[in-house]
A and B are shown apart, each in its own frame.
Chain A
Amino acid sequence: METTTIKNSDIIIGQKPEGIEGAGFFATSLDKVVGMARKNSIWPLPFATSCCGIEFMATMGSHYDLARFGAERLSFSPRQADLLMVMGTIAKKMGPILRQVYEQMAEPRWVLSVGACASSGGIFDTYSVLQGIDRIIPVDVYVPGCPPRPEQIIDGILKIQHLVQTESLRRRDSPEYKAMLNQYGIE
């Protein structure tokens, strides 16, 4: 992708999508613009349950700053969030609540599973821990680690951003997506 730079310097301001440029206009396809806008303004919902939540707090802090990727406004209300970040162990008691939060989110929505416990149950192979949140909700990106370093969490966010940018505008209405949601029993 071409990049736009400030004159006489090599600082990259943004990545320009392919399109036709002229004096005072820039023509490109709608999904590229929408993808670019969505990717740089994701509103995450931090569903922090345990130790990975503390690493998330460190990621939001000023040293590793997640806000520079556009995720400045953390939303704790699922109705206003785009990205559900599940960080920490999900016990079977918590499962229905996670499911309810996921169902309250509006499309398009993405799910990032941070940490080993959310991805697969982690070190807790016990009777009370859900062995991975993908048993109850569909997950887009998994970030392994126990807990993952803030750089890994940011890497996960960057992969989500890539998914957001390259997603087709019709994906959420397509029959494959609906079939996948039906597998989980989500309407």
Chain B
Amino acid sequence: MADNYNTSLLSDIPEKEEKQYSYLNLGPTHPATHGIFQNVLKMDGEIIMDAVPTIGYIHRAFEKLAERRPFYQITTITDRMNYCSSPINNFGWHMTVEKLLKIEIPKRVQYLRVIIMELARISDHIICNTIIGQDVGATTGFLYLFQYRERIYEIYEEICGARLTTNMGRVGGLERNFTDKTWEKLDGFLKDFPPAFEEFSALLERNRIFMDRTINCGPISAERALAYSFSGPNLRAAGVDYDVRVMNPYSSYEEFDFIVPIGTQGDTYDRFMVRQKEMWESVSIIKQAIEKIKKEPSHIYRADAPEYVLPPKEEVYNNMEALIYQFKNIMGETDIPKGEVYHAVEGGNGELGFYLISDGGRTPYRLHFRRPCFIFYQAYPEMIKGRMLSDAIITMSSMNVIAGELDS
């Protein structure tokens, strides 16, 4: 791969200077890549001339696997896509199926889903921002804020029993109502997280070293970002206010009052700040949702569509009809309409879309995931050309590339 040695340098007076480039393999296993994808960098000393990414090192064939599984079993594979914020993927998938089956979801269930999705968004942005801090050299934020991720995990455990790959909810609602312990833990989190987050912000946001390191590092203009189909915080940092929650509202997001922060230059500092502000907005949305839930009757946690929504277990053991519906649902004897549906949610990284084609059977005919990380990672070589190696590392971690979503 290296160029042949230039023999003109052997003469006494060199006639012309030839540049020799070195090739650096920022390999699949690397502490700073936070996931496994490879970049071969062509470097002129410390400056990067070109980069060739290679992905697919964790390709698990989700789209083919989904053709084998009934709708309720696909939830477990959706939460392994963006595993930092799995409930958003789960609910996005459930909403797609509910759109196909034309199930109407009650308001209280929608508000509960909003609470969980915003918690997941906070959890995803905590990882991204603290890791940006760690890559710049400030490990304190990572250790400090991860304590609050443990609190979020405790809330997930109260709701569904798992910490990370949650498989939360069912088609048509949630599997059980929120217990008192859940509300208690949620209130505790909302009380304790803002002061701790203020401390983390004070550590990095106006820190001279951090700003010098991250401003103008890996910028992308709004036109190029749109040409590369960016979405999510990366696009908003470049200045385009496209948020799926505002443009195509789902799960009653149109009733909530929140701002969508945007940046100006699309560099690392803007991406960091956009995620910081989004975390504040998520806290505010959760508080609004809790207020709205108080006005709804507190026993509703699922939709009333017995052909598609599994009935509660107490009824299955006691009531004949519920037993029949449970049987029909699990064995796939219900009528699934034929059709194709596309639904997008605002994931931690952008527009996470599900394109489902159903042919009336209990498994999908074709399921395609529109994964934001896969699409915006294409722009990475363009963003790091002409920059130094350490800038390339921070650019990658600020884009929040998650390998599970990159490689489906």
Contacts and interface: CB of A to CB of B under 8 A. Distances in A.
A15 interface: no
25 contacts: A49-B36, A49-B58, A51-B83, A51-B164, A51-B165, A51-B404, A55-B163, A55-B164, A57-B127, A61-B143, A61-B146, A61-B150, A63-B150, A76-B29, A88-B58, A91-B56, A91-B58, A97-B29, A97-B57, A101-B29, A124-B61, A127-B61, A128-B60, A129-B60, A147-B163
A37 B195 CA distance: 42
Interface residues of B, number: 35
Contacts of B203: none
Contacts of A93: 56-57, 59
B182 interface: no
Interface string A111-138: 0000000000001101111000000000
B164 A54 contact: yes
B58 A58 contact: no
Interface in B132-151: 142-144, 146-147, 149-150
A171 B290 CA distance: 61
A129 B61 contact: yes
Contact of A147 (B142, B143, B165): B165
Interface in B65-121: 65, 76-77, 80, 83-84
Contacts of A54: 83-84, 127, 164
B151 to A, nearest CB: 10
B30 interface: yes
Interface of B: 27-31, 35-36, 56-61, 64-65, 76-77, 80, 83-84, 127, 142-144, 146-147, 149-150, 153, 163-165, 403-404, 407
Given A61-B147, A93-B56, A149 B163 contact: yes
A51 B142 CA distance: 18
Given A88-B58, A147-B164, 7 more contacts: A47-B29, A49-B57, A61-B146, A61-B150, A76-B31, A97-B29, A149-B163
Leading 4 A-B pairs by shortest Cβ distance: A61-B146, A51-B83, A126-B61, A76-B31
B58 A94 contact: yes
Contacts of B153: 58
A91 to B, nearest CB: 5
